[in-house]
Amino acid sequence: MTLITILGLVLIMIGLWGMLTQKNIIKIIIGFSIMDTGVHLIMVSIGYLKDRTAPIIDSAVDQANAVNTVVDPIPSALVLTAIVIGLAVTALMLSYAIKLYEKKGTLDINEFKELKW
Amino acid sequence: MVNPIYIFILALGAGFLLTLFDKAGRKVSLTIFYAVLAAMVAISAQWLIALLGGSETAMIFTAGFKPPFSINLQMGLEEAIFTLAVNMLGLLSGLYLIKKFNATKVNAMVLFLMMIMGINGLIMTRDMFNLFVFMEITSIATFAMIGIDRDIKTLSAGFKYMIASGIASVLFLIGTIYLYRFSGMLHIDSMAVALDMASSQATLLAVFILLMAIVIELKPFPANGWALDVYEAVDSGVVAVIAAGSSAGMLFALYKITPLLNETLLLTVAGIGITTFVASNLMGLMQKNAKRLLGYSSIGQIGLVAGVFAMLVYLGYPINGKMVMLIAGGLFINHFVAKAGLFWLAGILNKENTEDWGALRKKPIYLFAFGAFILALVGLPPFPSFFAKWQMVMIFAKDNQFLVIAFILLGTLLEAVYLFRWLGKILESEVKEKIKVSFAQGLPVIVATLAVLGLGIYSATIVPGAGSLNIFYLPLLLIAALFVLDFLPVWVKNTLVILLMGFYTWQLLPGLEGYRFLFGVIFLVGGVILLIPGYAFKGKRVGFYPFAVMMYTGLAGLLIAENTLQFFTAWELMTLGSYFLIIRGKKAKPHALSYMLFSLGGAYAMLSGLGLFFSVNGNNLDLALLSSITESTSIIYILLVIGFLTKLASMGLHIWLPGAHGEAETDVSPMVSAILLKAGMFGLVVVMSAIQNPMIGNVSINYVLSWLGAITVFGGNLMAIYQEDAKRLLAYSSVGNLGYVLFGLTLMTHLGWLTSITYALNHFLFKALLFLAIGGVVWRVKTKNMYEMGGLIKRMPISFISVLIGIIALSGVPPLSGFAGKWLTYNVLIEKGWVLQGVVLIIGGLIAFLYCFRLIHTIFLGQLKDNHRKVKEAPLPILIPQVIFMFAIMFFSAYPNMVLRPVGDFLIKYFPQGAINWQNGVAFTAFGHWDGLGVLMITGVVFMAVFGWLLLTNRKTQKVGQFNIVYAAERPSRPELTHVGYNFFAHYRKALGVLSKPYAEKFWDGLSELFHSTADFIRKLYTGNGQTYLVHIIVFILVVYAFAMGG
Amino acid sequence: MGFEPIKILYAVISLFIIFNVGMLLNGITRKIGARVGRRHGIRFYQPYIDLVKNYALRSNISHGIMFYLGPVFRLTGGIGVYLFIPVIYGSQYFSNFSFAGDMVLVLYFIFFGTLGMALGAGESGHPYSALGIGRGLAQVTAAEIPLVIAFLGIAVQYQSLSITEIVGMQQGGIMNWTMVTNPLITVVAIIAFLGSMMRSPFDVVLAPQEIPIGPPTEFHSTFLGVLQTNRAIFPMAKTVLFVNLFFGGATNWGILILKAFILYMVSVVVGTVFPRFRVDQSIRWFYKYALILGVIALIATTFMFK
């Protein structure tokens, strides 16, 4: 387990902590974002191989021997997708937050309990 | 063949371009939108046809590489079925939402397309990360779609959904990336091969995390509050897609990762699923909001599908084998169609409270649709879930998973409670307003109705033993025809049904042997006779004939059933038909509900018994093998008998009967009382003739049942004497009478069975007669309270004679046929030596005199009430069958040998010893003798002699007026003052004290209260706070982890 | 056993004898009751005078067809019960019509008259009639508890339901009587007998003080005459039945009348001594004491004779 993985885990925990404890919807969204970032870090750390270069085939990398010189490119690719998706979700959440605030004039999550049981 | 990738290309392309086309006008963009949805349907449909025709599963590779190095999509049979279902849903829901799409920005259409496309992706992709992407596409599109509604409830529900979904996606990513790390692949199929689960705890953990992501999306109890909020708040058209479509996609995702799961995890999923099913149906009990209720039901159903699927895989059934398809697939598609349909209906009605759905009554088609969806969800024939459930119980029983069966049946029963309560509410409500259904909103509902029916019929052809179900084809066709022909006037339909049923009886009856013939006479000949009163009804009597025929179909099916599947199908058809007959009564709704619930409970006990039977007799459905089983005999016996006793309304299981029979319509009461109750007896005869004298330890089950029979006689008759309502009195009397039937059967001797059959025949005759006569009276005087009647002998003499003959036969006073039963009872008691039960039984029988007298006195004798001075005799169609039954009783009384001798002859096959010795119509047993005709003639002669003597000695008799009585030299001013009728046997109640208390009702009320309050307690979990829901999810995962991985 | 036309003649003779015995016993009973109460009382043949008077009355009103038929049902029931009992053991001709059925028939035929009378009285529309019937039926069902138990008991004991056979098995001296061989059941039977004889403490049905004579309130003249005829026959029929089942039956008329007289007097004595139960009290009494005693007797019988 690399340091980055641990860092990712810590971020996830912080994010989750934020989501569970903060009453303000914006803060919850921030918590989610932090958690998401933690996940991304973990993903990158999985693909990381020590002492290798970025998986871009250009002059710096020997094409024939690329498999042994670059880090695993797939996690990186995945992370890019995940970041995009995370961004979309975060954006949507924020727009929800705006709408919710418009309706109720508050961002306290405890105030949105019309539906229950 | 069109490449399935076009599904995505079309959806994405249209998604990007719609905004552009919208500039040319909403009509253009809408046309393209629907064209794309239709094209998606067409592509899936075409693949399904091809694959069914034998084509190979198609693999679609991207980026020019083969997997595992590329993302690939797959189009196999399962994918074709699922995508077709989802795309159909998309098209229909799209149509349903046309008004919304017209009104809002073009974005709505785009998002909708993305939702459908995302689900398609979920189904088709074979790549783990791609699965994540499609999951997110679906989710994001859904969130955005939800967000279009600017309602505060919708928005807050959507936000909660996002939080839950966010956690799920985080889990999914972590799981995926670690699985990639351990296997080096993202291709799901290769991953399963590459991973060695047993060796690494870490791998297992990764799989667990991934699994949890999918499980959370499947809304497990209790981590599903967000989903309930979404179901409640979101627009019906959209929520139909979420509840049916998204769930389908996630279920398919679960299906795909199943190869990764080890036994523990499979069991975990099974446990979660079934717990969710039971818990959410329990909580549904307290729900009044229609869409939230549907939400509870949805969550439960998804849990059921997932749980049953995992269980099947755990038990070693091939993941894409026939059993999984039939059971899990059947349950799924059933839920899919029915729930989509119900959510659409919810949108059409636009009523939050389930109690306000009465407007459906003005729209018979949609009422029919609603009924079909409800029945499908509960799992009654002819819907897919019925066959799925049947097969599931058989399979699970074979593998000894009885706990699972018990929980699933419990959950189903709970679901039935609130669904049938809802149906009953609709059927009883007074309709004030009308609803308008547009074509676009109506069509999807109708398609769903047809689909669920069609799928049901399809299931009936693929379930093992399907061939034998052909006996139901013609009757079901007739039922369908009757639904279509329901616009005809009642006399046309009545004639039609009488003719067809008469013809069917004519064909069927001669082929039946032994007791089947006897029951055939009761069920079918009796059925035809009891259809005659139908002519008294005016108008159309919508919905009567299809269900009457359904009930008789079930009854006839019981007679000719050769295997357990036929038997159970017939049983459920009968229950269903009779439920809809009973519920027609004005105040019958709550009673019809309890009838249905007891019937279902009994049917489930029976189903478990049949499952156990299936497992111990070498997986054979043949009913005839019942006599040759050697294992678990007693348990099978008990389970089956419980099933039949609910129908027979034995004490403790009887509480549904008085209301159901008492509140039913005039001609339905005799049907369900005189005929339907005998179905329970028929079942007992089938079981008892096969399994002789089962024991638990040293105790003979039949001995216990004989006590139950005796107590039933006593209790039923005792309750009958306290009734003020004439029809309830008769209903309680039925409870008592069937106690004799049960008692006789449990004796397991020739005379015992003869007694039982004699009682059954008599009960059939006199109860039909009495219910018709009393029904005729109620028809005219418009009240069922006896104390409001009186002196009606002057107005309704024929009805009076009917009741007179009926009560003499009922009470067992010689010379009429009822005495046959009493005489036989004494004989069997001495023969068998069970005299203590006999005392209870006979005293119970004597109490019958009390209510017999009360019935005839309070209604026909005493003082005629002022408002009844002009009532007419009952309508002729109600009188005709009475005359028939009276003649039948007189014939039976005069020539008991003509009836009992043939019965005895076939009983010799089962009980060769102790038959009656007939000499010239006189019956001899080892103990006594009885000459039916002789008694009748002696009585007649003495009666005539005394009558002649009275006429001779009497001078001119003066007829006097009603009030000309010895009344302290006064004339009573009102008939009410001198008509003693109310609380007639108060002294009896006072004398018996505790014996007269309704313990059974208290017990069941208490049980119901317990369930409801538990439900109310548990559902308080769902506080409505998004953060609490998040806590639920986290705690859920930790608990599951502790269970699944900790041990 | 079968039917021969000559039996009708003997049945009529037998009926005539028992009718007169019943009439006389009615008169004697009332006389005894009066003497116990320190009154002079009626002449013992007074019931005949009453009967003739009632049949001779001219005024005659009817409340309807069931009212008219009620007494007919009642008397048919009384006569029927009697006719289904073999009266004299061993006599071809005084076995009445017992070929038609056994003691179960007799037991249930008792209700024929009761039910018919109830209907007739019901149509009269008089509240006291209805009250009387309500009480009567309720008490009858309760009083049947010991009766049913007693019947079941002797049926178990003799393994037969045929009265003739049961009497047959009691022949040969007092030691063979059910009274001796099974005293417990006999006690239960006596309780049942008391309960069905319409005398104190179980006579609330006709309770003269509360509901002037109960069910027959509206019946008068000829109708009352028919009912009185029945009142002579019906209790005697029951008495003869009990004599047959529990006290060895009789092989000639003398013995029969003697035994019947003694048994009848049991109910008279008890009735004269005890005050009246309220109807709920009598029901409760039967459901409590008679039932418990009966069940004990029945269990004992089952053990003794199996």
The interface predicted TM-score of the complex, written ipTM, equals 0.95
Q: Reduced to 3 states, what is the DSSP secondary structure of residue B53?
A: coil
Average pLDDT, chain A: 87
3-state secondary structure of B964: coil
- The reply to whether A117 touches chain B by the CB within 8 Å rule is yes
Contact B903, B757 (CB under 8 A): yes
CA separation for the pair B493, B6 (Å, rounded): 52
- Rounded Cα distance between B678 and B672, Å, is 9
Rounded distance between C-alpha atoms, residue B922 and residue B22, angstroms: 94
Residues in chain C within 8 Å Cβ distance of B950: 68, 71-72, 222-223, 226
Query: Phi, psi (5° rounding) for residue B289?
Result: -75, 125
CB distance A103–B1027 less than 8 Å? no
Residue type, B759: Y
Chain C residues touching residue B983 (CB < 8 angstroms) = none
For residues B859 and B778, is the Cβ–Cβ distance under 8 A? no
User: Which pLDDT value is given to residue B420?
Assistant: 95
Chain B residues within an 8 Å CB radius of C69: 947
Contacts of B1019 in chain A (CB under 8 A): 117
B919 DSSP β-pair partners: B922
Percent of chain B past pLDDT 90, that is, above it, reads 75
Q: Measured between CB atoms, which of C65, C66, C126 is closest to B978?
A: C126
Cα–Cα distance for residue pair B855/B861, rounded to 1 Å: 10
State how far the Cα of B679 lies from the Cα of B554, in Å rounded to an integer. Answer: 10
| Bridge partners, B918 (sequence order) | B923
Residue B869's φ and ψ, nearest 5 degrees, are -70, -20
* CA distances (Å), origin B47, targets A27, B1, B450: 48, 8, 22
Which other chains touch chain A, taking contact as 3+ CB pairs less than 8 Å apart?
B
Q: Could you tell me the CA-to-CA distances from B263 to B194, B259, B260, B1036 in Å, in that order?
A: 18, 10, 10, 20
Residue B3 neighbours by CB distance under 10 Å: 14
Query: Which chain A residues are Cβ-neighbours of B156 within 8 angstroms?
Result: 100, 112-115
Residue C42's identity, in one-letter code, is: I
Averaged over B471-483, what is the pLDDT? 91
- Give the per-residue pLDDT at C210: 56
What's the confidence (pLDDT) of residue B130?
A: 92
**DSSP-derived 3-state class of residue A70:** strand
Q: Assign B1013 a pLDDT band (cuts: 50, 70, 90).
A: very high
Please give the backbone phi and psi of residue B58, each rounded to the nearest 5 degrees, phi first: -95, 135
Q: What is the pLDDT of residue B716?
A: 94
Phi-psi region of B613 (alpha: psi -120 to 50; beta: other; left: phi over 0): alpha
Domain layout of chain C by residue ranges: 6-54+61-304
Place of tokens 């008599």: B762
Ramachandran angles phi, psi of A70, nearest 5°: -105, 160
Residues of chain C positioned with their CB less than 8 A from the CB of B957: 60-62, 68
- What is the number of residues in chain C? 306
Residue pLDDT, tens place only, B122-163: 999 999 999 999 999 999 999 999 988 888 899 999 999 999
List all residues 6 or more positions away from A104 whose beta carbon is below 8 Å from its beta carbon.
A111, A112, B152
* Residues in Cβ contact with B854 at an 8 Å cutoff, skipping those fewer than 6 apart: B721, B729, B786, B981, B984, B985
The C-alpha atoms of residue C108 and residue B820 are separated, in whole angstroms, by 11
Take residue B279 and report the two structure tokens written for it: 């818990």
Instruction: Give the distance from residue B946's alpha carbon to the nearest chain C alpha carbon, in angstroms.
Output: 6
For residue A85, the SS3 value is helix
| Disruptive mutation site among B163, B209, B291 for chain A (greatest number of A CBs within 10 Å) | B163
Q: B926 vs C145: CB contact, 8 Å cut-off?
A: no
Mark whether C and B touch (3+ CB pairs within 8 Å): yes
Q: Do B140 and A92 touch (CB under 8 A)?
A: yes
Q: Do A20 and B1027 touch (CB under 8 A)?
A: yes
CATH number of the domain within which A96 lies: 1.10.287.3510
Q: What is the C-alpha to C-alpha distance for residues B705 and B698, in angstroms, rounded to an integer?
A: 15
Q: Which domain holds residue A69?
A: 3-56+64-111
Q: How far apart are CA C162 and CA B41, in angstroms?
A: 82
Q: Which of B711, B972, B691 is nearest to B847 (CA)?
A: B711
The answer to whether residue A11 neighbours chain B at the CB level (below 8 Å) is no
The model's confidence at residue B736, banded by pLDDT at 50, 70 and 90, is very high
CA B201/CA B205 separation, integer angstroms: 6
Helices of type H across B788-875: 797-811, 818-832, 835-860
For residue B714, which of B838, B560, B629 has the smallest C-alpha distance?
A: B838
Tokens 């209907």 locate to: C119
8 Å CB contact of A89 and B162: yes
Q: How far apart are CA C238 and CA C144, in angstroms?
A: 13
Distance from CA of C96 to the nearest CA of B (A): 11
CB contact under 8 A, B943 and C103: no
Q: Which residues of B touch C144 (CB under 8 A)?
A: 843, 846
What does the alpha-carbon distance between residue B183 and residue B194 come to, in Å, rounded to a whole number?
6
Query: Chains contacting C with at least 3 CB pairs below 8 Å?
Result: B
Q: CB of C137 within 8 A of CB of B987?
A: no
Segment B96-105, tens digit of pLDDT: 999 999 998 8
The SS3 assignment for B862 reads coil
Q: Is 60 exceeded by the pLDDT of residue B113?
A: yes
CA B288 from centre of chain: 21
Q: What angle do CA B604, B605, B609 make, to 5 degrees?
A: 110
Alpha carbon distance A49, A70 (integer Å): 8
The pLDDT mean for chain B works out to 92
Top mean pLDDT of B275-284, B429-438, B462-471, B840-849 is at: B275-284
Residues in contact with C303: Cβ distance below 8 Å, sequence separation at least 6, in sequence order: none
Query: How far is C204 from C201, CA to CA, in rounded Å?
Result: 8
- Residue A108 DSSP SS3: strand
Cα–Cα distance measured from residue B380 to residue B330, given in angstroms and rounded to the nearest whole number: 13
Which of B10-14, B428-432, B611-615 has the weakest average pLDDT?
Answer: B428-432
pLDDT at B58: 87
Q: What does the alpha-carbon distance between residue B384 and residue A48 come to, in Å, rounded to a whole number?
A: 51
- The first and second tokens of residue B741, run together, are 């039937």
Residues listed for chain B: 1047
Q: Which residue of B has its CA nearest to A23?
A: B1027
Closest to C161 (Cβ–Cβ): which among B826, B836, B963? B826
Mind listing the pLDDT tens digit of every residue in chain C (306 residues)? 466 788 889 999 999 999 999 999 999 888 888 888 889 988 989 999 999 999 988 878 888 889 999 999 999 999 999 999 999 988 877 888 888 889 999 999 988 888 888 888 888 888 888 888 888 888 888 998 999 999 999 999 999 999 999 999 999 888 999 999 999 999 999 999 998 888 878 887 776 555 556 788 888 888 989 999 999 999 999 999 999 999 998 988 999 999 999 999 898 888 888 888 888 899 999 999 999 999 999 999 998 887
Q: Which residues on B lie below 8 Å from A8 (Cβ)?
A: none
* Model confidence pLDDT, tens digit, residues B638-652: 999 999 999 999 999
Contact B512, B497 (CB under 8 A): no
Judged by CB atoms closer than 8 Å, whether chains meet at B157 and A42 is answered as no
Name which of B164-173, B288-297, B433-442 the model is least confident about: B433-442
Q: How far is C264 from chain B (nearest CA, A)?
A: 25
No. of H helices and E strands in chain B? 44, 8
C-beta of residue B631 within 8 angstroms of C-beta of residue B617: no
| Cα(A111)–Cα(B153) distance, integer angstroms | 11
Q: What is the mean pLDDT of residues B498-511?
A: 93
Say what the pLDDT of residue B630 is.
86
Give the number of domains in chain A: 1
Integer Cα distance of B754 and C160 in angstroms: 19
Q: Please report the pLDDT score of residue B199 as a whole number.
A: 64
CA-nearest of B128, B125, B212, B129 to B168 is: B212
3-state secondary structure labels for all residues of B648-664? HCCCCCCCHHHHHHHHC
Domain ranges across chain B: 486-943
Name the band, by pLDDT with cuts 50, 70 and 90, for residue B378: very high
Q: What is the pLDDT of residue B646?
A: 94
CB B84 within 8 A of CB B116: no
Q: Which residues of B touch A12 (CB under 8 A)?
A: 170
The answer to whether residue B856 scores a pLDDT higher than 80 is yes
Under an 8 A CB cutoff, do B927 and C162 touch? yes
Q: The tokens of B680 are what?
A: 């329970």
CB contact under 8 A, C115 and B852: yes
The percentage of chain B sitting over the pLDDT mark of 70, rounded to a whole number, equals: 99
The DSSP annotation for C85-136 comes to S--STT-SGGGTTGGGB-HHHHHHHHHHHHHHHHHHHHHTT-HHHHHHHHHH
Q: Is A63 helix (H, G, I), strand (E, B) or coil?
A: coil
* Predicted pLDDT of residue C243: 93
Q: What is the pLDDT of residue C105?
A: 93
The residue of chain B with its CA nearest to that of C118 is B853
Is residue A32 predicted with pLDDT exceeding 70?
yes
| Residue B198, pLDDT above cutoff 70 | no
Residue B96 tokens, joined: 């349903």
Q: What is the mean pLDDT of residues B766-770?
A: 96
> Residue B697 — very low, low, confident or very high, per pLDDT cuts 50/70/90?
confident
* pLDDT of res. B417: 95
d(CA B714, CA B829) in angstroms, rounded, equals: 16
Interval B45-52 mean pLDDT = 93
Q: Among candidates B13, B89, B94, B96, which has minimal Cα distance to B44? A: B89
Q: Do chains C and A touch (3 or more CB pairs under 8 A)?
A: no
Cβ–Cβ < 8 Å for B86, B45:
no
C176: Cβ–Cβ under 8 A, 6 or more apart, which residues?
Answer: C169, C170, C248
Q: What is the pLDDT of residue B1047?
A: 55
Quote the CA–CA distance of C195 and B983 in Å, as a whole number.
24
Partners of residue B229 in chain A, C-beta under 8 Å? 115-116
At a CB cut-off of 8 Å and minimum separation 6, what does B403 contact? Answer: none
User: In the prediction, which pLDDT does C211 show?
Assistant: 55
**Is residue A110 less than 8 Å (CB to CB) from chain B?**
yes
Residue of B nearest to A85 (CA): B136
Given a cut of 80, whether residue B164 has pLDDT beyond it is yes
Predicted local distance difference test score (pLDDT) of residue C256 = 92
Provide CB contacts within 8 A for A54, sequence distance 6+. Answer: A70, A71
